[in-house]
Amino acid sequence: MARLTSLKAHNLCLLSHNTNTFNHASPKNQNPQLFPSKERGLKLRFRVLCSIREREGVREEERAPEVLTGLRVDGLEEQKGPSLDIERRDGSSQVGFDWSWPPWKNVPERYKLIGTTSLAFVICNMDKVNLSVAIIPMSHQFGWNASVAGLVQSSFFWGYALSQLPGGWLSRIFGGRKVLEIGVLAWSVATAFVPLLAGYMPGLILSRILVGIGEGVSPSAATDLIARHFIFSTFYVIEGKMKTIPIEERSRAVGFVFGGLSVGSVAGLLLAPPLIQNFGWEAVFYIFGCLGVAWFLGFQFLGEGEASHAAEFPSTSQDVPWRSFFQSKAVWAMIYAHFCGSWGHYTCLSWLPSFFSEELDLNLTEAAWVSILPPLASVVVTNIAAQLADKLIADGVETTTVRKICQTIAFVSPAVCMTLSSLDLGLPPWEIVGILTGGLALSSFALSGLYCTHQDMSPEYASILLGITNTVGAVPGIVGVALTGYLLDTTHSWSISLFAPSIFFYLTGTIVWLAFASSKPQNFSNRG
């Protein structure tokens, strides 16, 4: 009876996405060759051309054993998931799978990772907006005036701004996963401590600064995490492990992760009022804080997934090429674009409810519900933008061109809508609400524009680059929001105080972005 020997690495001649069968033929090539498939898919299917060594003296008429076991390909680690059995009956081959439970066990690790990271960002914005709702009953209970309430709310942005660069540097050294989980735990614990510290102003401000620090390191950590998983568009090998990480999924990954912020804003604004009404304002901080702690504990179950599926960046404390960053016009374009986008986002987030109430004569309940519309619409637009960007890149459009198109839409759309809202066109209030909602929702195209460019330019330093741009982007949260209030008190005009500065930054940001932005990979370490 013929004896089938184990398949060695030198027998592996072709990997393909397109077949599930094993064909036996004489080997023509002894060296392994990997041919990346042009088709995208989640499953790898193999066609192996190999030779069968027969024992001397065995008759050719004798058949091979019915079952071939012990299939092994040297040099590739055994993959977790369904077991593979190959049966040979009457010259045919079959591949059978032994499915395991739970069903999501065999989902690629990168998809599990971006899903849980997006959930972290949902909790992030829930903890960011909870104080904007709870500040009203808190002010009544502790006798705070508007200045004190403003100080408490602005303290978040101090921690948020100061933690951007450290977050990027730490993510570069220790990996985004570790920094993200520590950040979530830190801001969640600080959130849960707010009711205990509310009567002691220094402690309350410190707790909000800690919330800002925890949330401040998270964007850079998430950027590093995605960059390590979405680098190449073909097969590559790291420490003997074969992986496929399609760059055409980057826009969807970034959009899905950062789109969690919009979902969190909606969830926070919807959940906070009934929780406060039924259980008191303290319940918002306790419940939202516990959600973050639960996420931290659940995130540990991903365990070794990232380590086995992530690109290995040098994890050393070597010097970061700061000088090279600031010598790049493309980096400066990202910095200015991030500042411009944040100005419009933070000022509208803070002042639109007042605009709806005072300028459009909506009552407080209507104004609160209307304020949910822009982030709710952003969830839909984010998905559309990501799908469009990835399709254009997959169809061969240059990545820089795609990023410029998306960011231009993100800037020009709200600028046009704010201009229409500023003019006295005799539009009814609900039409103005619709126009502003549409413009602010389309600004979510930035997630497929600016927010992907850091990774396009340098996956290795993506977290630090985002730390740089997001530090500057946090300034409008401190300066822009206060300046809007000052201009409103001075001019008594919403057009001048809220819309005019935002329109200016949106338009100038578009010009700078189109002129200098680039998604071409940069080797910052080798710059002079």
- Looking at residue 55, its amino acid is R
Mention every residue, 6+ apart, whose C-beta is less than 8 A from residue 70: 6
Contact assessment for residue 495 and residue 355, using Cβ atoms and an 8 Å cutoff: no
Radius of gyration of the chain (CA): 27
In whole angstroms, what is the distance from residue 279 CA to residue 281 CA?
7
Task: Give pLDDT, residue 60.
Answer: 44
DSSP 46: B
Distances in Å between the Cα of 405 and the Cα atoms of 70, 90, 392, 522 are 52, 57, 11, 21
Task: Give pLDDT, residue 68.
Answer: 37
In whole angstroms, what is the distance from residue 444 CA to residue 262 CA?
9
128: closest CA among 259, 283, 289?
Answer: 289
Within 10 A of 444 (CB to CB), how many other CB atoms are there? 31
**Coil, strand or helix: which one is 243?**
strand
Task: For strands 67-68 and 92-98, give the pairing.
Answer: unpaired
338: closest CA among 215, 517, 483?
Answer: 517
What are the start-end ranges of the E strands in 221-285? 235-238, 241-244
**Coil, strand or helix: which one is 52?**
coil
Task: Give pLDDT, residue 89.
Answer: 41
Residue 487 exposed, middle or buried by CB count within 10 Å (0-12, 13-18, 19+)? middle
Task: For strands 83-89 and 92-98, give the pairing.
Answer: antiparallel
| Structure tokens belonging to residue 54 | 């027969």
| Structure tokens belonging to residue 223 | 């950027």
**Coil, strand or helix: which one is 97?**
strand
In whole angstroms, what is the distance from residue 437 CA to residue 414 CA?
9
Distances in Å between the Cα of 265 and the Cα atoms of 356, 413, 441, 488, 527 are 18, 21, 13, 25, 41
In a structure prediction context, what are the per-residue pLDDT tens digits for the chain, which is 528 residues long?
444 444 434 433 333 344 343 344 444 444 444 334 444 444 434 333 333 343 444 444 444 444 333 333 334 344 444 444 444 444 444 444 445 555 566 676 777 788 888 899 999 989 888 887 788 788 889 888 767 777 787 788 889 988 988 888 888 888 888 899 999 999 999 999 999 998 889 999 999 999 999 999 998 888 888 777 665 433 334 444 444 346 666 778 788 888 888 888 888 888 888 888 889 999 999 999 999 999 999 888 765 444 444 556 555 545 788 889 999 999 999 999 999 999 998 888 778 877 887 788 877 567 767 888 888 898 899 889 999 998 999 899 999 999 999 999 999 999 999 999 988 888 888 899 999 999 999 999 999 999 999 988 988 888 889 889 989 998 888 888 778 888 888 888 889 988 999 999 999 999 999 999 999 988 887 665
Task: Give pLDDT, residue 511.
Answer: 98
**Coil, strand or helix: which one is 178?**
helix
Distances in Å between the Cα of 218 and the Cα atoms of 99, 206, 257, 451 are 36, 19, 11, 14
In whole angstroms, what is the distance from residue 92 CA to residue 73 CA?
21
Q: Which residue has the tokens 């055994």?
A: 78
409: closest CA among 432, 388, 379, 434?
Answer: 388
Task: Give pLDDT, residue 313.
Answer: 56
